[in-house]
A and B are shown apart, each in its own frame.
Chain A
Amino acid sequence: LAERSPLIQQPIFSSTNFENIFTWKSWGEPLPGTVYDVQYKKYGDAWQNKSECQNITRRSCNLTLETENFTECYYARVRATVPNCCVSEWAESSRFYPRENTIIGSPDVKYTPSVNSIKFYVQPPATPLRDKDNQILTVVDIFSQIGTTFEYELTIHCQKTKQEWVKVNNNNEFEISDLYPNTEYNGTIHIRYSDKISKPYVFRAKTLSDTTW
């Protein structure tokens, strides 16, 4: 099979909440019958085949389990084979650091409005990883394990008065008080960690009417 010019471009890890997917693009429309083989390794080790990603036609491969040690760094590579034609060069990712390169998704938030206040309870995103008791780890659990500093940041905006204020907490509960009754407030909640920030949870909440005389 003659070597052809690379049929693959942009071999990258795309990672959200420590779910690490190795993806790549085809150079133009893939030739009929094109299949892909994926290998991975920890930096410093030998290449290993990812068994579930041999002779595949899709252009992505989930390497979450193979890259679950978030203190390590990894590589992945892919090559294309066109039956009765050619095999591409290996296209290799750059060095991938789960704890640095993962994007943190938006947290989940429950909020309870009252007449003059709103209580927020922030649930950090879950990861595909589990602890030794098989409990699902959240991104915050992982930050705690690797010593990454993090905090929760709430920005709230009052439609009526155009006021806006920011509150930062180390724990995942907020209570914003001294609010107007029966008034709409909107805003965002993020998780800040080392020098990065998660995707926002966007909320719109209305305080209760004051029924007292």
Chain B
Amino acid sequence: SLKQLHFGHCMVSVDMYEMRKGFGDIKEMTQSQDQHTSIRLLHGSHSLQNTKSEDRCCFFHYLLKFYLVNVFNQCTEGNNFHQRRVSRIANNFLSIKKELTLCDTVTTCSCGKEANQRYEQILNQFQRMDSHSAAVKALGELDILLDWIDKT
């Protein structure tokens, strides 16, 4: 059930079904742990599909790295069921990132001003929170990111 998605000049294959299924299994529990519901990291106005095509590849690369570095490895507690789902999604992100990195060497996955600004806003909001709460919030927003990826 791999889906071929285009991000600027780069094309990557994404297992949307597995990621949505994995997240669906932990969504309610993860989102219920988010005590800061007046804060949102991934705003609709900053979505991937609202990003200029030439910036999309780089912005997406940023988001993948953001989740791999700041989120998945922070969300290691929780029961086995929860951890297995998080690691399965993380592995999906890793393989997508590899494909994007390969593409980056061949074509330009350039980082324009817009991609940098959008990513900075997400990172600033994230860093204003304590790291655990921020990671829980970002994990709870995975469905928003998966929607962005799907609609690109």
A and B: partners?
yes
Q: Which residues of A contact B (CB under 8 A)?
A: 41, 43-47, 71-73, 75, 92, 94-95, 97, 147
Q: Write the nearest CB–CB distance from B142 to chain A, whole angstroms.
A: 12
Secondary structure dominating the interface of A: loop
Residue from the set B37, B143, B144 with the largest chain A CB neighbour count within 10 Å: B37
Jot down 6 A-B pairs with beta carbons below 8 A, ordered by A.
Answer: A43-B37, A44-B39, A45-B40, A71-B44, A95-B31, A95-B140
Q: Is the CB of B39 within 8 A of A94?
A: no
Complex CA gap A97/B20 in Å reads 15
Q: Is the CB of B32 within 8 A of A75?
A: no
Q: Is the CB of A44 within 8 A of B32?
A: no
Q: Is the CB of A41 within 8 A of B38?
A: yes
B32-53 interface bits toward A, Cβ cutoff 8 Å, 1 = contact, 0 = none: 1000011110011000000000
Q: Write the nearest CB–CB distance from A8 to chain B, whole angstroms.
A: 16
Given contacts A72-B44, A92-B37, 11 further A-B contacts (CB under 8 A): A43-B40, A44-B39, A45-B40, A46-B38, A47-B38, A73-B144, A94-B32, A95-B31, A95-B37, A95-B140, A97-B143
Q: Write the nearest CB–CB distance from A9 to chain B, whole angstroms.
A: 15
Complex CA gap A30/B28 in Å reads 29
Q: Is the CB of B28 within 8 A of A94?
A: yes
Complex CA gap A43/B140 in Å reads 11
CB < 8 Å neighbour of B151 from A46, A72, A92, A147:
A147
Q: Size band of the B side of the interface?
A: 10 to 19
Q: Is the CB of B151 within 8 A of A44?
A: no
Complex CA gap A41/B40 in Å reads 12
CB-CB under 8 A from B37, the residues of chain A are: 41, 43-44, 75, 92, 95
Q: Is the CB of B28 within 8 A of A44?
A: no
Q: Is the CB of B38 within 8 A of A94?
A: no
CB-CB under 8 A from B32, the residues of chain A are: 94
Q: Is the CB of B31 within 8 A of A44?
A: no
CB-CB under 8 A from B38, the residues of chain A are: 41, 44-47
CB-CB under 8 A from A44, the residues of chain B are: 37-40, 43
Complex CA gap A199/B31 in Å reads 28
CB-CB under 8 A from B143, the residues of chain A are: 97
B20-31 interface bits toward A, Cβ cutoff 8 Å, 1 = contact, 0 = none: 000000001001
Complex CA gap A75/B31 in Å reads 11
CB-CB under 8 A from A73, the residues of chain B are: 144
Complex CA gap A47/B44 in Å reads 19
Chain B minimum-CB-distance residue to A95: B31
Residue from the set A43, A47, A97 with the largest chain B CB neighbour count within 10 Å: A43
Q: Write the nearest CB–CB distance from A147 to chain B, whole angstroms.
A: 7
CB-CB under 8 A from A71, the residues of chain B are: 44
Q: Write the nearest CB–CB distance from B147 to chain A, whole angstroms.
A: 8
Complex CA gap A46/B151 in Å reads 28
Q: Write the nearest CB–CB distance from B36 to chain A, whole angstroms.
A: 10
B137-152 interface bits toward A, Cβ cutoff 8 Å, 1 = contact, 0 = none: 0001001100000010
CB-CB under 8 A from A147, the residues of chain B are: 151
Complex CA gap A34/B38 in Å reads 28
CB-CB under 8 A from B151, the residues of chain A are: 147
Q: Write the nearest CB–CB distance from A15 to chain B, whole angstroms.
A: 16
Chain B minimum-CB-distance residue to A69: B44
